[in-house]
Amino acid sequence: MTKTILIAGTASHVGKSTVAAGLCRLLADRGVDVAPYKGQNMSNNARVVVRPDTDGKQGDETDTATDDRWGEIGVSQFVQARAARMTPTTDCNPVLLKPRGDGESQLVLQGEAHDHVPAGTYYEEYWDQAREAAEKSYRRLAADNDVIVAEGAGSIGEINLHDRDLANVETAEFADADILLLVDIERGGAFASLYGTIELVPDALRERIVGAVITKFRGDPSLLEPGIEEIESRTGVPILGVLPYDDPGLPEEDSVGLPGSEERGVVGDEDGVPDDRRLRIAVPRLPRISNATDLEALADEPGVSVVYVPVDGDGTADPLEGVDADAVVIPGTKNTVDDLLALHDAGFADALATFDGPVVGICGGYQMLGERITNAALEGTGTDDTVDGLGLLPVETRFEGDKRLEQTSVPVDGPASPLLSGADGPASGYEIHAGRTQALEDVHRPLGDSSAARGQVLGTYLHGLFDNESVRTAFLEHVAATAGVDWPPGAGTDTSPSAGSDTTGPTPYDRAARLVSEHVNLAALGEPFDE
């Protein structure tokens, strides 16, 4: 029978995704058939994957149609599937809620986008359908694998949700799962949180808890021993390990790891490169930002800082003032129209009109760069039918009811844009968007039909653009030349690979596996973890 371990938490952001990825890689390296699973996820960081057919097999790889073949899942399950050395499918995350603001989320069932629904409507009208989808996906994965590493969501101790907690309670029951409970000590109150959670979970689930792990600890673990002994005595749940504070470099599951929307924050500035050798990429911190992982490959480069700029001004001041930006990248968004209106209100249209450096828009950012968006009321909240864009590209986007989902590879025509003049292709990534964009005048197409470029401005629907080394290097070299910065950093500068590098030394998956194997008593989890 398939063994299932549910990685649950006392709260959100306690390290569940990292531990799940580490266990997937650990088992895969031992030759175990293992698959990740999360019954219900809430995230705007999604990836496009194949959808299993009714027999649980992958779709026809030769089929060029995109609507039926592809679906979307949360980024963490995509990453965990890669860690497990398996092809990710929508079964890995059968229910995905993508927040769009104003208390609504888009409901994605087995990869297919459905309505935008408030939380109450979801539980009243879609709950049974969602649970059925989650259990069917689990059964298909279990039929083909020896172990399922399931990730819970938020806190397993939310007593107001126990009768409808799909990712924790329901998964534990229909998967007959053992539970490994994680608590983040960096937040403070770890022992109280752990004790309270164990006391509040339903009795049937409490019996499934095989152990707990304390995460994100800085210091000497021996200092925790009195607390560990007491919590074990009070609860009967063994503490199986203490994970040191470490970031293996896995992509963030959601925007929680980003600077807040009302504060300026910098990512990638702790690599030892001096300021005079550093490039600064400004990124508007959109209120409804999605797929922000597109920026991680830039921040991982030595000598590159990604500066998140608040989108909360009243338009009276230049939002880029004081940023000293060498380039601007506008990322994706779950709600292009409302985030575009927010950019207008904050004065970004005027700021970008006078900005003389490179500007890139990805997905929703590409749509914003155009002259206008039509049929805007389909996506925006209380908007007119037509909304003015930022006016940096002669293109127009019209929203329609369907969504384009596709893993894709596009040709790279470097000479078509100075931003990519040194790049060659193809470049691989994925598209996940509503709306169709067409040119109003002649434009260059450096990344195929789903792109447009003019002068220092480039727009594209290709998520994962900067994950392509040739594209990333060409872009940064152009930014450096435009800014007069001597980049990349030279000899004598600390340019050791960041934790997120997947090309030099251990991969993030391997680092996560090592973190778990070195600091958790896996023998307590039984076969096949105890090898």
> Of the segments 60-69, 97-106, 260-269, which one has the largest average pLDDT value?
97-106
Residue carrying the six token digits 């009811």: 401
Report the 3 state secondary structure along 407-441: EEEECCCHHHCHHHCCCCCCEEEEEEEEEEEEECC
Amino acid at 95: V
Evaluate if residue 230 carries a pLDDT over 80: yes
Reported as a pLDDT band with limits 50, 70 and 90, residue 57 is very low
CATH 3.30.470.20 fits 265-483, yes or no: no
* pLDDT number for residue 22: 97
Evaluate if residue 62 carries a pLDDT over 50: no
Give the C-alpha separation, 282 to 462, whole Å: 19
What residue spans in the chain does CATH classification 3.40.50.880 cover? 265-483
- Write the DSSP string, 250-300: PPPSSGGGSPPTTS-EEES--SS--GGG-EEEEEEE-TTEE-GGGGHHHHT
- Write the DSSP string, 299-325: HTSTTEEEEEEE----SSS-TTTTT--
Average pLDDT over residues 306-320: 88
Evaluate if residue 55 carries a pLDDT over 80: no
**Residue 362: both structure tokens together:** 């990805």
Q: Which residues are designated catalytic?
A: 363, 463
* pLDDT number for residue 338: 92
CATH 3.40.50.300 fits 3-53+70-246+505-525, yes or no: yes
Reference 419, options 472, 456, 389; nearest CA is: 456
Secondary structure (3-state) at 4: strand
Average pLDDT over residues 233-255: 89
Taking the mean position of all CA atoms in its chain, how far away is CA 21? 14
- Other CB atoms within 10 A of residue 438 CB: 10
**Residue 196: both structure tokens together:** 């309270």
* pLDDT digit string, tens, across residues 163-208: 999 999 999 999 999 999 999 999 899 999 999 999 999 999 999 9
* pLDDT number for residue 235: 96
* pLDDT number for residue 306: 96
Secondary structure (3-state) at 520: strand
* pLDDT number for residue 384: 72
What residue spans in the chain does CATH classification 3.40.50.300 cover? 3-53+70-246+505-525
* pLDDT number for residue 254: 64
10 close to 193: Cβ distance less than 8 angstroms: yes
Sign, CA dihedral 206-207-208-210, equals positive
- Write the DSSP string, 13-73: SSSHHHHHHHHHHHHHHTT--EEEE-SEEE-S-EEEEEPP-TTSPPP-TT----TTTEEEE
Amino acid at 6: L
- Write the DSSP string, 338-393: HHHHHHHHHTHHHHHHH--S-EEEETHHHHHHSSEEESGGGTSSS--S-EE---SS
∠ at Cα 45 (507, 264), nearest 5°? Answer: 90
* pLDDT number for residue 119: 85
Kindly give, in sequence order, each residue whose CB lies less than 8 Å from that of residue 440, ignoring residues fewer than 6 positions away. Answer: 371, 394, 395, 396
Give the C-alpha separation, 446 to 460, whole Å: 9
Evaluate if residue 63 carries a pLDDT over 90: no
Reported as a pLDDT band with limits 50, 70 and 90, residue 151 is very high
Reference 38, options 76, 2, 11, 3; nearest CA is: 76
How far are the Cα atoms of 352, 427, 458, 470, 476 from residue 414, in angstroms, in the given order? 24, 11, 12, 10, 13
* pLDDT number for residue 400: 83
Q: Tell me the chain's radius of gyration from C-alpha atoms.
A: 23
* pLDDT digit string, tens, across residues 77-122: 999 999 999 999 999 999 999 988 778 899 999 999 888 899 889 9
* pLDDT digit string, tens, across residues 457-490: 999 999 999 999 999 999 999 999 999 999 887 6
- Other CB atoms within 10 A of residue 29 CB: 15
74 close to 99: Cβ distance less than 8 angstroms: no
Average pLDDT over residues 111-140: 93
* pLDDT number for residue 53: 66
* pLDDT number for residue 505: 67
* pLDDT number for residue 245: 93
Report the 3 state secondary structure along 241-252: EEEECCCCCCCC
Reported as a pLDDT band with limits 50, 70 and 90, residue 382 is low
> Of the segments 5-9, 199-203, 263-267, which one has the largest average pLDDT value?
5-9
**Residue 311: both structure tokens together:** 């989108």
Across all residues in the chain, what is the average pLDDT?
90
Average pLDDT over residues 124-131: 94
Reported as a pLDDT band with limits 50, 70 and 90, residue 531 is confident
Percent of the chain whose predicted confidence (pLDDT) is above 90: 77
* pLDDT digit string, tens, across residues 12-47: 999 999 999 999 999 999 999 999 999 999 998 899
* pLDDT number for residue 500: 37
Average pLDDT over residues 374-402: 87
Helix 190-200 crosses helix 225-235 at what angle (to 10 degrees)?
A: 10
* pLDDT number for residue 60: 44
Q: How would you list the strands of the sheet with 40-42, edge to edge?
A: 40-42, 95-101, 104-109, 112-118
- Write the DSSP string, 109-163: ETTEEEEEEEHHHIIIIIHHHHHHHHHHHHHHHHHH-SEEEEE--S-TT-TTSTT
Average pLDDT over residues 328-346: 94
Give the C-alpha separation, 463 to 63, whole Å: 21
* pLDDT number for residue 67: 54
What are residue 305's phi and psi, to 5 degrees? -115, 135
Label residues 46-72 b or e (16+ Cβ within 10 Å = b): bbbbbbbeeeeeebeeeeeeeeebbbb
Evaluate if residue 340 carries a pLDDT over 60: yes
Evaluate if residue 378 carries a pLDDT over 80: no
Give pTM, 2 decimals. Answer: 0.85
Evaluate if residue 315 carries a pLDDT over 90: no
* pLDDT digit string, tens, across residues 482-517: 999 998 876 444 433 333 333 456 899 999 999 999
